[in-house]
Amino acid sequence: MLEKIGEFNMEKVIDDFEAMTSDAERIQKETLKKILEQNRSAEYLQLLGLNGRTDLETFKRVVPLVTHTDLDPYIQRIADGDSSPVLTGKPITTISLSSGTTQGRSKFIPFNDELMENTMQIFQTSFAFRNREFPIGNGKALQFIYGSKQFQTKGGLAAGTATTNVYRCSKFKETMKAMQTPCCSPDEVIFGLEFHQSLYCHLLCGLLFSDEVQLVSSTFAHSIVQAFRTFELLWEELCADIRDGSLSSRITVPSIRAAMLKLLEPNPELADSVYRKCSGLSNWYGLIPALFPNAKYIYGVMTGSMELYLNKLRHYAADLPLLSADYGASEGWIAANVNPKVPTEMTTYVVLPNIGYFEFIPVRDGIDFKPVGLTEVKIGEEYEVVVTNFAGLYRYRLGDVVKVMGFHNSTPELKFLCRSNLLLTINIDKNTEKDLQISVEEAAKLLAAEKLEVVDFSSHVDLSTNPGHYVIFWELSGEASQEVLNECCNCLDKSFVDAGYRSSRKVNGIGPLELRILRKGTFQKVLNHYLAQGSAVNQFKTPRCVGVNNSKVLQILCGNVVRSFTSTAYDI
Ligand code: AMP
């Protein structure tokens, strides 16, 4: 039996989920009806001629599939202070900023109470299933989370990243408490706005509460790896702070300092214990369970573009399970990980049929087909996700590609594949984010023999040469020999198996792939660049392809190349 904790009855959450997913078709229709009823006065729907109708057939006939660009003028009017019902019946009062790391710039997205409710529903659902398999005790969560700056739009609406909008909400804290996992760090650290200082203090708080830590988490796994890479560099300083009950002079934000000093008092035993544990590790293997002996698992999004970081995370985690967090976007939540025992790379997400109306555009050979409903998808097929939500997005193409792996009751289980926009293309070649990742993973295997790894990567289509060619940027964990990197370069080139690429390479319609090795710390500079522009660390995803229009990032990458290699894989 699952126990009841506070106001949160896990058994009921699971029962509700099972009932809902067993009746997905009906729930989807009802959800659409509710969305259209609530927003019948919205100008956008009226202009399309929906005339208050709420049935699926009319909806599909009169409402077009759109992208963010189509809705941008409406969202902009809302942000500029138009409080008439533009996209929603009730005025929107908060704007979310998407991470902007996939497209190069942040987008404005409407946020409202319903999205907040959905967030709590998703958190509770996956927690109930997770806790059944990996029960945690009362304690704390070491969460590497960072609030971003909130500002007011021209029209006075509060704007911040979706994650910040969530963390700031009192319901979030209540839910975390009900799930036994309040964050180790005080609010001043989470909302400190100085990322490096907040990270240092998150680590320090984790150590101060090390015996209470039940889990280590972040929104995206990237932040956890980054945190422990930082720990490797700063652990002695952290130990000194614990020993003396003082705080490193690197922490300069007064609110963070004040909050941290309240927690600190000289604790030589703890400092000694951390020191001993760290000294006893071999190449930091098993660092996380060594520091946090009561942690039950590590939690954060680990699929899609986060897969690159899994090797490093496994190294820090040793045998501690790695559980991927749910699937969602600033535009709203989509699906929960309710099978936490499945190996991380194979994680699937079950759609919650009452949090929006979902459609799926089949993606085959790059051709767009007509969208199908949630319960009409087929196992083994790939689809682009289309969302209609409670916050003014109607038939909105999210830009993600997923694969249907099976069904949970009558609701599909999705595997996240990649962003849908093509990344690398010169002529007839088409390579997606996933193709690039596969190629990088293949080539990275050659580094394993030298005990090296790819810390992070990106790519670029270089059309300044004739013919154009692919450039792959790698930051490595150490020095690799000329010979191995030559091999890696050839392997990257060979591992793009797209027929268009191969045939173009053979006839020199595309030039030899170039592997450029970057100075250590280059991707940290890329992150800093995004942070300076107001992006949030929580939602940061390394851009996997950098175009010429993203000139600043391209400059950072090109300006930090230390060695470069040209493929001979197709030389005759
Ligand atoms: P953002 O633009 O910051 O709201 O990020 C949302 C995007 O992150 C989604 O559209 C996906 O591309 C990606 N994402 C979110 N959750 C997951 C997940 N569980 N697995 C893989 N990618 C995800």
**Which of the listed residues 320, 353, 379 is the one where a domain comes to its end?**
320
Q: Within a domain: residue 4?
A: no
pLDDT at position 530 is: 87
Ligand 1 probe mutation, 541, 542, 544, 545, most atoms within 8 A of CB = 541
Alpha-carbon distance 241 to 99, whole Å?
34
Residue 198 domain-assigned? yes
The DSSP line for 487-526 is: HHHHHHHHH---HHHHHHHHTTSSPPPEEEEEPTTHHHHH
Give pLDDT, residue 3. 40
Asked, for residue 539, whether it belongs to a domain, the answer is: yes
Tell me: do 339 and 474 sit in the same domain.
no
- For residues 200 and 245, membership in a common domain is answered with yes
Distance from the CA of 416 to the center of ligand 1, in angstroms? 9
**What are the distances in angstroms from CA 39 to CA 46, 108, 111, 352?**
10, 20, 14, 21
User: Which of 288, 320, 352 is the endpoint of a domain?
Assistant: 320
With contact defined as beta carbons under 8 Å apart, do 473 and 458 qualify?
yes
- How many CB atoms sit inside 10 A of residue 498's CB? 17
* CA 98 to ligand 1 centroid distance, Å: 10
Q: pLDDT band for position 99 (50/70/90)?
A: low
CA distance 54 to 168: 34
Say whether both 394 and 429 belong to one domain.
no
Instruction: Say yes or no to pLDDT of 102 above 80.
Output: no
CB neighbour class for 390 (10 Å; exposed up to 12, middle 13-18, buried from 19)? buried
Q: Are 448 and 477 in contact (CB under 8 A)?
A: no
Count of domains in the chain? 3
Which atom, in ligand 1's list, is nearest to the CA of 100? Answer: 2
| Rounded distance between C-alpha atoms, residue 353 and residue 465, angstroms | 49
Angle between helix axes 195-208 and 268-280 (nearest 10 degrees) is: 100
Instruction: Examine the domain organization and report whether 139 and 243 are in the same domain.
Output: yes
Does residue 572 fall inside a structural domain? no
- Cα(first)–Cα(last) distance of the chain, in Å? 67
Contacts with 417 (C-beta within 8 Å, 6 or more apart), sequence order:
304, 382, 400, 401, 402, 403, 434
Q: Are residues 108 and 172 in the same domain?
A: no
| Predicted confidence (pLDDT) per residue in 520-539, tens digit | 999 999 999 988 877 778 87
Residues 229-280: tens digit of each pLDDT = 999 999 999 999 999 999 999 999 999 999 999 999 999 999 999 999 999 9
If asked whether residues 434 and 413 sit together in one domain, one would say no
pLDDT tens, position by position, 330-376: 899 999 999 999 999 999 999 999 999 999 999 876 566 899 999 99
In a domain, 120, yes or no: no
The predicted model gives 305-309 an average pLDDT of 88
Compute the distance between CA of residue 385 and CA of residue 504 in angstroms, rounded to an integer.
Answer: 31
Structure tokens at 436: 């690039």
* Ligand 1 proximal residues by C-beta, below 6 Å: 98-99, 162, 301, 303-304, 324, 327-330, 398, 400, 416, 419, 539
Domain final position from 363, 395, 419: 419
Asked whether residue 257 falls in the same domain as residue 340, the answer is no
Band (pLDDT 50/70/90 cuts) for residue 80 is: very high
Q: Which two tokens stand for residue 265?
A: 């008092």
Q: What is the DSSP letter of 183?
A: B
Q: Is the pLDDT of residue 138 over 60?
A: yes
Q: Measured at the alpha carbon of residue 146, what is the angle toward residues 140 and 150, in degrees to the nearest 5?
A: 130
Q: What atom of ligand 1 comes closest to residue 161's alpha carbon?
A: 3
Q: Three-class SS of residue 31?
A: helix
Domain containing 374 equals 30-113+328-419
Q: Is residue 160 pLDDT above 90, yes or no?
A: no
Helix (H, G, I), strand (E, B) or coil at 23: coil
Q: Compute the distance between CA of residue 213 and CA of residue 216 in angstroms, rounded to an integer.
A: 7
Give which of 540, 543, 556 is closest to 225, Cα–Cα. Answer: 540
Residue 468 lies in a domain: yes
Q: 218: closest CA among 153, 288, 137, 268?
A: 288
Query: And the tokens for 247?
Result: 């705080």
Looking at the structure, do residues 395 and 473 belong to the same domain, yes or no? no
Question: Closest ligand 1 atom, CA of 418?
Answer: 12
For the stretch 499-522, pLDDT in tens is 889 988 988 889 999 999 999 999
Residue 19 belongs to a domain: no
Residues 164 and 299 grouped into a single domain: yes
220 three-state secondary structure: strand
Q: Which structure tokens are listed for 323?
A: 């559980």
Tell me the residue ranges of DSSP E strands in 337-445: 349-351, 357-364, 367-368, 372-373, 382-388, 396-408, 411-419
Distance CA 173, CA 181 (A): 9
In 3D space, the residue among 201, 206, 226 whose CA is nearest the CA of residue 216 turns out to be: 206
> In terms of domains, do 214 and 332 share one?
no
Question: Mean per-residue pLDDT for 493-504?
Answer: 91
Within this chain, do residues 236 and 307 fall inside the same structural domain, yes or no? yes
- Under the banding of pLDDT at 50, 70 and 90, the label for residue 6 is low
6 within some domain: no
Same domain as 315, residue 170: yes
Question: Closest ligand 1 atom, CA of 539?
Answer: 3
Mean pLDDT of 309-335: 95
Cβ-contact 556, 533 below 8 angstroms? no
